[in-house]
Structure formats: structure tokens, C-alpha cells
Copies of this chain bind each other. A is one copy, B any other.
Amino acid sequence: MDIIPIIFGFLGLFAAYLLYLAVEKYPAGEKKLTDISDEIHLGAMAFMKKEYSILFVFSLILIFGIYIGLGLSSTVAFIVGALSSSITGFIGMYTATKANVRTATAAQNSGVSDSLSVAFFGGSIMGLTVAAMGLLGLGILYILYGSDPDTASTIHGFGMGASTVALFSRVGGGIFTKSADVGADLVGKVEQNIPEDDPRNPGVIADNVGDNVGDVAGMGSDIFESYCGAIIATIAIASTMIKDDLIELGTRETLMFLPLSLASLGLFCSIVGILIIKLLASRKGSDETNIANSLRGGTFAAAISFIVLAYIVIAQIGVSPNAWYAVLSGTIGGIIIGLITEYYTGGAPVRKIAEQGQTGSATLITTGLSIGLQSVVIPILTLVIIIFLSNHFAGLYGVGIAAVGMLATVGITMAIDAYGPIADNAGGIAEMGALGEETRKITDSLDEVGNTTAAIGKGFAIGAAALAALAIITAFVQEVNHNREVPVQLLLTDTNVLIGLFIGGMIPFLVSSLTITAVGDAAYDMINEIRRQFKEIPGLMEGTSKPDNQKCVEIATEAALKKMVVPGSIAVFSPVIVGLIFGPEMLGGLLGGGLVSCILLALTMSNAGGAWDNAKKYVEKGNHGGKGSETHKAAVVGDTVGDPLKDTSGPSMNILINVMAIVSLVIAPLL
């Protein structure tokens, strides 16, 4: 039995490898395209190499601390977790930078269907790798330590390793991508008046590198750590549950193994879903609605087959059907949160924002802010209902298994999410390689659908992170009270808990502020470099000489990595400091305040940013005067304000709370 997750893990990796071969099979295209693609590829790899070397040093400090505090096995688990996350990010980015140029070439040579296949396969490799690496890593550790309740806590280290890597990837990648984006746009489009993705612009390659390091690798490690966090937390809850709660649900052993079974099942259903999308897409043909429907169809098929099969598995292994209800609430809740995000970043609110742009950028921004703030309501109510139902049916274990239910089909949700930046990149390459109007139109329509799916993916990531964090926090409290005579109680009326609540609520505001500032500062460096090149390189504007693209990549890399250390350290060390100095009560309060604050800020910032972005696109389609109008100028301001919110600070919030929670869980035995 215990070997199943490992088998499925290998199966997933094998499927990813087959997809990679399928992508490779497509021609990369003319030399001018592969040159561009190689530059993006090299830039991305250079960034990752530097990022990982900083992470290596940071990890050494943590490894030292973990080894001193918790011994060898936790240290090994941490290293495995960090490596798994790093490898996942690396594979995802490696293949994404291969898929983007092939998508552009396929769009030129064979039309929308092939081009969609390449882009989607590229995304699927990332999706399957996330799920497979999680199953493999956790599956192996589970056999070594996890299945025995006494040593199960060892695998928490895996989660901490994965989360630490995720945090830095997300924050660093987020700063990189937005500083490059803002810098390239501001100098290129506004000052030099050349189109987006123009090859003369020295910042364009960096911008495309940013899409990969931010939206592919960053998003991948974000989802990876939520996925692993949910599984680990559920195992932890099951391993420390008191006997009375157990009896109603099943044996401790089966309950501990259930999250891994469900994750294996989810990986299988994801592969099925990917095949269905391939079938739907190739049959139905070309237009945007069909592409969107294919993607949607595959996702729903994966979710529904997962729900059905989960029922059978749960019944077969002798766990109460109540656990299935909890899984169901998580899976459905995840879809609802995703759809609400789609509404706020693509529906009526976007048109309202664009309309307000007619009276200038101030009203446009105010409306966007107000919509961002409002967009928290339904997701929070959905989360609250998931918590209520899952707890009602299966107690604290229910919250954990609901999170697993939400994240089990991560293979396909992540695939659809990673497809977006690949399509976006393909568009950039098509523009830079001057592939012509027709090709650009295809990549644009792929990109457009990708934006919607990415919005859903973002909402889903926030919901999943919230539930995963809650499960980890629950596990933390149980772990703290495990083997303790007088249990620690997190009473809101206890001053320590209350103080923790305030501090925890405050940290996400501080981290958001730091990451927003970081984007601004890094963009400033980029702007200066791009301006310098336009001024100093003779013949650049005329197209007779080439820009020094890699210099821009270097500057963005330097800036991003320098700026990610402080917010990352706050996330990792604040629970350690609060927990070890002020005790578990204050740490518990900190996690509670941090959870609420992170989720609210993440939703507000991501949705406001997404809505501004799409309001700009809506205007660019010819509404309210179209491109070049005053309304468009106002919309561009809104988009620029939203950029760091939706791609840097907002997404960092997901990981921030998960890192704080998992670090707390790891240090729980020391409190």
C-alpha cells in the first residue's frame, strides 16, 4: 500500500516526460526565433542559478538550526523538501522556455490547434511535475518516517524546505518580473514610443524571462508548497488525534495514509483531464470560446472523476464516508473561489473600472481599490462554509482532508495556469521575430484565454493556501499539545494570544509594503539601464545594432535577489522568535492573525490588480475610445499600479502564511 504514492509519482514524472518529448517533437523554428528563445532561456537559467545559490546559503543557516534543534532526520527531510521544490521549479521553467518558441512556430506553421497543444503540454509538464515530485518526496519520507506516528513529525521538515524555496522563488520571481515589465514598458512604450515586445528594447528579453521566473517557476513552487503542506498537515493531524475522535472516522493508519492516496488519485485524474483537453481542443478547432471550453471541460472532468473515485477509495479502505463529504466541500469550494475570481477580474467589475476611466485615472483607481476590497466577501464566506462543513463531518481532520481535496487535482489546475505565461511568451517571441499579423492573432487569442485561466488559478491558489495553512496551524496546535500535561489553549482573551493576533495581522502589511517598494526600486534601476542603452548604443533605434539584453536580465536579477532577503527572513524567523521567546500562545495568535490578514490582502491585491489589467485590455479593444485615448491612459496608470499588487505582493501572501505555519509546526516540539 505505502508504495502507491511513489508509483504514482513515477507515473506522473513519466507522463511529464512523454509530454516533454511531444513538445520537443515540434520544430523550434527559424534561427531568429531560436536566438530569441535561447536568450530568454539563458536569462531564466542565469536567474535561477543565482537565486538557488542565495537560497543555498540561506538554507545552510536553517539546516544548521534544524539540526541543532530537531536532529538529523528532520534535517534530511528539509533538504529533500528544498531539493524537490527546486527541481520542480527548474523542470517547469526549463520546459516552459522550450515550449514558448515552439508555440510561436506552431502558430505560424500549423495554426491554432497545434499551437494550443504545445503551449498546453508545456504547462502540463509543470503541473504534473508539481504533483509527481510532491508524491515522490512525501511518499519516500512517509515510508521512512511518516507511517509511524512517533516519527511522523519528521516529515514536517519536508514542508519547511519546500516552503522556504517557494517563498524565495515567489518573492524573487515576482520582483524580477514586475520590475522588468514596468521598466521595459515605461521606457519603450511611453518614452521611445515603440511597440510592446519590440526587439530594439533592451528590457524586452528581461520581461519575457520574468514571465517564466515569476509566473511559471514562482507559481509552481507556490502551489507545490500548498499541496505538500496540506498533505503533511493532514498526516500530522491524524498522527496526533486523540483516540475518541479516531473511532468515528477510521483507524489512525488509514487516516494518515488517506491524503497520500487521494493525492495519487488526483494525479491520475489530472492526467485523464489533460488527455480530455487535448481531445477536445483538437476536435473543436480554433476560436477563443472553444479553447476556453476545452480547458474548462478538462478541469471539470478531472474534478468530477476525482470526486467519484475518491468516494470509492474512501469506502474501500474503510474510512467513514464523512471524510468524503469533507473532501467534496474542499473540491467544490476551490472551484467556487476560482470562478468568483474570474468574475471580479473579467466580468462586470472590469467594465465598471474601464467606464470610470472616462473621468480620469483617479476614479479608475478608486473604483479598482473598492472592487478589490469587495472581492474578499464571497471567497471568505466560501472558506468559512468549507471550514464549517469539513469540521462538522470530520472534525479537525476534516479541515486537512478538505484542503487535500481542493489540491488533489493540482496537476491540471497548475497545467492550465502555467499554460498562460507560455502563450504570453510565445506572443512576445512572435512579435520580436516579426512573424506577422496572422501568427500574432493566434498567440493573442491563446494569451487572452490564458489570462482568464490564470485569474482562476490565482483565486484557487489563495483558497488552497488558506485551507492548507489552516490545516498546518491545526496540526501545529495538536503537535504543541502532544505529550504536554497541561494543554496550551489559544484563548483570544489571553493577552499573549491577542498580542500575537495583532503582530500576525501586521506582518502581511509589512511584507506587502516591502515587496511593493522592492518592485519600485528594481524598476528604477531597470529604467536607468534601458535609458542608458538607448542613449549610448549607436544605431539601436534604427535597428542596425543590438541591445545588451543580458545586462538588463542581470540588473533585474541582482535587484530581485537582493530585495527578497528581508521579506523572506521576516516570514521564516518571526515565528521562531515569537515562539521561542514568547511561547506557543503568542505564536498561535500570530498564526491566526496572519492567516486572516494574508488571505484578505492576497484577495484584495490580486483581484484589484487583475481587474485593472483587464480593464486596460478592455479599453484597448476599442471601448471608451480605445488605444491612445484619455481613458486608455488612465487605464494604463491603473494597470501599472496593479502590477506589483497582483504579481508580487498578492501572491507572496499565500506563501507567507504557509511558511509561517510550517515553520511553527516544525519548531513545535521545541516550544
Q: Could you tell me if B520 and A356 are in contact, using CB atoms closer than 8 angstroms?
A: yes
Q: Could you tell me if B499 and A360 are in contact, using CB atoms closer than 8 angstroms?
A: no
CB contacts (< 8 Å) of A645 on chain B: these are 369
Q: Which of A58-66, A105-113, A486-494, A546-554 contacts B (4 or more CB under 8 A)?
A: A486-494
Q: Mark A487-523 against chain B: 1 for CB-CB distance below 8 A, else 0.
A: 0011111010111011101100110111011011000
CB contacts (< 8 Å) of A361 on chain B: these are 361, 637
The chain B residue sitting closest to A376, CB to CB, is B509
Q: Could you tell me if B596 and A502 are in contact, using CB atoms closer than 8 angstroms?
A: yes
Q: Which of A132-140, A164-172, A428-436, A586-594 contacts B (4 or more CB under 8 A)?
A: A586-594
Q: Which of A72-80, A382-390, A535-543 contacts B (4 or more CB under 8 A)?
A: A382-390
Q: Could you tell me if B509 and A373 are in contact, using CB atoms closer than 8 angstroms?
A: yes
Q: Could you tell me if B510 and A363 are in contact, using CB atoms closer than 8 angstroms?
A: no
Chain B min CB distance to A504 (Å): 8
Interface set, chain A 625-656, CB cutoff 8 A to B: 636-637, 640-641, 644-645
CB contacts (< 8 Å) of A374 on chain B: these are 509-510, 513-514, 517
Q: Could you tell me if A362 and B592 are in contact, using CB atoms closer than 8 angstroms?
A: no
* Interchain CA distance A644-B363 in the complex, whole Å: 11
CB contacts (< 8 Å) of A499 on chain B: these are 384, 387-388
* Interchain CA distance A391-B585 in the complex, whole Å: 16
* Interchain CA distance A491-B490 in the complex, whole Å: 5
Q: Could you tell me if A370 and B492 are in contact, using CB atoms closer than 8 angstroms?
A: no
Q: Could you tell me if B362 and A641 are in contact, using CB atoms closer than 8 angstroms?
A: yes
Chain B min CB distance to A375 (Å): 8
Chain B min CB distance to A594 (Å): 10
Q: Could you tell me if A589 and B366 are in contact, using CB atoms closer than 8 angstroms?
A: no
Chain B min CB distance to A644 (Å): 6
CB contacts (< 8 Å) of A514 on chain B: these are 374
Q: Could you tell me if A510 and B377 are in contact, using CB atoms closer than 8 angstroms?
A: yes
Q: Does A337 contact B (CB under 8 A)?
A: no
CB contacts (< 8 Å) of A470 on chain B: these are 498
Q: Does A380 contact B (CB under 8 A)?
A: yes
Contact of A597 among B362, B396, B503, B596 (CB under 8 A): B596
Q: Does A367 contact B (CB under 8 A)?
A: yes
* Interchain CA distance A369-B365 in the complex, whole Å: 12
Chain B min CB distance to A463 (Å): 12
CB contacts (< 8 Å) of A495 on chain B: these are 387-388, 391
Q: Could you tell me if B513 and A641 are in contact, using CB atoms closer than 8 angstroms?
A: no
CB contacts (< 8 Å) of A384 on chain B: these are 499, 502-503
* Interchain CA distance A501-B640 in the complex, whole Å: 33
CB contacts (< 8 Å) of A520 on chain B: these are 356, 363, 366-367, 370
* Interchain CA distance A640-B360 in the complex, whole Å: 10
Q: Could you tell me if B388 and A492 are in contact, using CB atoms closer than 8 angstroms?
A: no
Chain B min CB distance to A180 (Å): 16
Q: Does A477 contact B (CB under 8 A)?
A: yes
* Interchain CA distance A512-B365 in the complex, whole Å: 15
Q: Which of under 10, 10 to 19, 20 to 34, or 35 or more describes the interface residues of A?
A: 35 or more
Q: Could you tell me if B492 and A492 are in contact, using CB atoms closer than 8 angstroms?
A: yes
Q: Does A423 contact B (CB under 8 A)?
A: no
Query: With A366-B516, A491-B491, A641-B366 in contact, do A501 and B596 touch (Cβ < 8 Å)?
Result: yes
* Interchain CA distance A171-B460 in the complex, whole Å: 34
Q: Does A186 contact B (CB under 8 A)?
A: yes
Q: Does A600 contact B (CB under 8 A)?
A: yes
* Interchain CA distance A220-B36 in the complex, whole Å: 64
The interface centre, meaning the residue of A383, A492, A596 with most chain B CB atoms within 10 A of its CB, is A492
The chain B residue sitting closest to A506, CB to CB, is B380
Q: Could you tell me if B377 and A492 are in contact, using CB atoms closer than 8 angstroms?
A: no
* Interchain CA distance A377-B509 in the complex, whole Å: 8
Chain B min CB distance to A314 (Å): 22
Contact of A641 among B365, B387, B517, B640 (CB under 8 A): B365
Query: With A387-B498, A503-B384, A596-B501 in contact, do A366 and B492 touch (Cβ < 8 Å)?
Result: no
* Interchain CA distance A396-B498 in the complex, whole Å: 12
Q: Mark A336-380 against chain B: 1 for CB-CB distance below 8 A, else 0.
A: 000000000000000000001001111101110111011011001
CB contacts (< 8 Å) of A362 on chain B: these are 636-637, 640-641
Q: Does A557 contact B (CB under 8 A)?
A: no
CB contacts (< 8 Å) of A509 on chain B: these are 373-374, 376-377, 600, 604
Contact of A377 among B363, B388, B501, B506 (CB under 8 A): B506
Contact of A516 among B360, B373, B383 (CB under 8 A): B373
Q: Does A270 contact B (CB under 8 A)?
A: no
CB contacts (< 8 Å) of A503 on chain B: these are 380-381, 384
Q: Mark A176-190 against chain B: 1 for CB-CB distance below 8 A, else 0.
A: 000000000010000
Q: Does A474 contact B (CB under 8 A)?
A: yes
Q: Could you tell me if B477 and A493 are in contact, using CB atoms closer than 8 angstroms?
A: yes
* Interchain CA distance A381-B644 in the complex, whole Å: 27
CB contacts (< 8 Å) of A519 on chain B: these are 366
* Interchain CA distance A492-B388 in the complex, whole Å: 14
The chain B residue sitting closest to A511, CB to CB, is B373
* Interchain CA distance A509-B380 in the complex, whole Å: 11
* Interchain CA distance A23-B376 in the complex, whole Å: 49
Q: Could you tell me if A380 and B502 are in contact, using CB atoms closer than 8 angstroms?
A: yes
Interface set, chain A 187-234, CB cutoff 8 A to B: none
CB contacts (< 8 Å) of A505 on chain B: these are 380, 596-597, 600
* Interchain CA distance A176-B503 in the complex, whole Å: 35
Q: Could you tell me if A376 and B637 are in contact, using CB atoms closer than 8 angstroms?
A: no
Interface set, chain A 474-492, CB cutoff 8 A to B: 474, 477, 489-492
Contact of A370 among B387, B517, B592 (CB under 8 A): B517
The interface centre, meaning the residue of A373, A501, A592, A593 with most chain B CB atoms within 10 A of its CB, is A373
19 A-B Cβ contacts within 8 A?
A: A365-B365, A369-B645, A370-B520, A374-B514, A374-B517, A376-B506, A376-B510, A377-B509, A380-B502, A380-B505, A380-B506, A381-B506, A384-B503, A387-B495, A391-B495, A470-B498, A474-B493, A492-B589, A596-B597
Beyond contacts A186-B359, A380-B505, A381-B506: 18 other A-B pairs, Cβ-Cβ < 8 A, are A360-B637, A361-B361, A365-B641, A366-B519, A367-B520, A370-B513, A370-B516, A374-B510, A376-B509, A384-B499, A388-B499, A474-B493, A492-B497, A501-B596, A502-B596, A505-B600, A596-B597, A597-B600
